[in-house]
Amino acid sequence: MHVRVLGSAAGGGFPQWNCACGNCAAVRGGDPAFEARTQDSLAVSRDGARWIVLNASPDITRQIEAAPALCPRHGRETPIAAIALTNGDLDHCLGLLSLRESQPLALYSTSAILEGLFGNNAFLRTLERHGDHTSLRELGPAPVPLEGPDKEPLGFTLQAVPVPGQLPIHLRGLREPSAMDNVALVLRDRQRDRTLLYIPGIARSFEGLRELLDAADCVFFDATFWSDRELGERGLGEARARDMAHWPLSGDDGSLALLSAHRERRIFLTHINNTNPILRKGSPERAAVERAGIAVAHDGLELSL
């Protein structure tokens, strides 16, 4: 299995257009302790020729141009055979609107997430320009074989496991939340017995998380915030990490403590908010992550499983 990190930042990216926090100012100023990041997304392939993109970030066209394997090879076509979504947040879906040039797409997600996107959304009709344009394929806890728009198998199964989260901001008040609004994606190459687990948004631990981590060879995990009061401490608002459905890394009950118990897996942190002190190479927080045996993902990172 080939994996490429297309983006590793939380919504807004790094730097974020309206933020002059210490981290954003430093990366804008070219401080070598920081790297700029686009919004989180992964590309995965079995053969290196046909790819599945996990989350379609608003930066997707830049991410494609930065990844030769994702660029078209002739005429009008794309190596991207399928797209799968972990939730309906705009940092994970807005890129769909940039992929609209009548290109057939296979889009996988839960019925709750697909309905939240396509129900009553005039913009998304641009992905339904002809009968074979976007095929919506429903995901749930049972593994389904992934296929491109042409029904060619991609060599993986995919399942969606409910994870504590919240409704996308634009759906709040319109309907009740459901357990399938925010999911982990489990992508498995059965032939080679390799499993990738992608959880870019998680509000807290839940029963079954340890087993999910144990069953994966490689994990990409929510690292939005280091601490619960990270925004408040920087004078950037009152919202706490936990109110925003992001489980902070630090503390006895933080996600890092749990992840470090699974350090024999390859674990990468992603969906990193621009305020997070782990963004600075050499910071005490970054050192604590590294001591825990966990890596910080960066844009363009490639690995083979």
**Residues making contact with ligand MLT (CB under 6 A):** 10-11, 89-91, 169, 201, 244
DSSP category for residue 83: E
| Residue 108: strand, helix, or coil | strand
**Candidate segments 30-38, 84-92, 155-163, 285-293, binder of Mn ion by CB under 5 A:** 84-92
Q: Least separation, in Å, of the C-beta of 8 and ligand MLT?
A: 13
Whole-number Å distance between alpha carbons of 287 and 273: 18
Tokens of 40: 């989180």
**With CB under 5 A as the contact rule, which of the stretches 7-15, 189-197, 205-213, 292-300 interacts with Mn ion?**
7-15
Q: Minimum CB separation from ligand MLT for residue 274, in Å? A: 12
Nearest to 200 by CA among 216, 182, 222: 222
Per-residue CA distances from 27 to 22, 122, 160, 274, 282 (Å): 9, 37, 35, 10, 15
Nearer to Zn ion, 21 or 292 (CB): 21
Cβ nearer to Zn ion, comparing 24 with 256: 24
Q: Which is nearer to ligand MLT, 133 or 242 (CB)?
A: 242
Where residue 85 falls (left for φ over 0; alpha for ψ -120 to 50; beta otherwise) is beta
**Terminal C-alpha separation, the chain:** 5
Q: CB of residue 248 vs ligand MLT: minimum separation in angstroms?
A: 13
- Residue recorded with tokens 């989350």: 55
Nearest distance in Å: CB 42, ligand MLT: 16
Element (H, E) at 195: strand 194-199
> Which lies closer to Mn ion via its Cβ, residue 154 or residue 269?
269
Rounded Cα distance, 267 and 257, in Å = 13
Spatial contact of 265 and 213, defined as CB atoms under 8 Å apart: yes
**Among 175, 260, 288, 270, CA closest to 220:** 270
Using the minimum distance from each CB to Zn ion, give the nearer residue, 189 or 228. Answer: 228
Identity of the residue, 81 or 231, whose beta carbon is nearer to ligand MLT in the bound complex = 231
Give least dist CB 170 to Mn ion, A: 13
Residue 244 contact among Zn ion, ligand MLT, Mn ion, none, beta carbon within 5 to 8 Å by kind: ligand MLT
Indicate whether 11 belongs to the interface with Mn ion (CB under 5 A).
yes
> Which partner in ligand MLT, Mn ion, Zn ion, none is near 274 (CB below 5 to 8 A by kind)?
Zn ion
Q: How far is the CB of 259 from Zn ion (least distance, A)?
A: 24
Whichever of 146 and 223 has its CB closer to ligand MLT, that residue is 223
Annotate each residue in 89-118 with x if it binds Mn ion (CB under 5 A) or - if it does not, as one string.
x-x---------------------------
Residue ranges in contact with Zn ion by CB under 5 A: 19, 21, 24, 274
Neighbours of 120 (CB within 10 A): 9
Round to whole Å and give the CA distance between 251 and 239.
18
- Which positions lie near Mn ion, rule CB under 5 A? 11, 89, 91
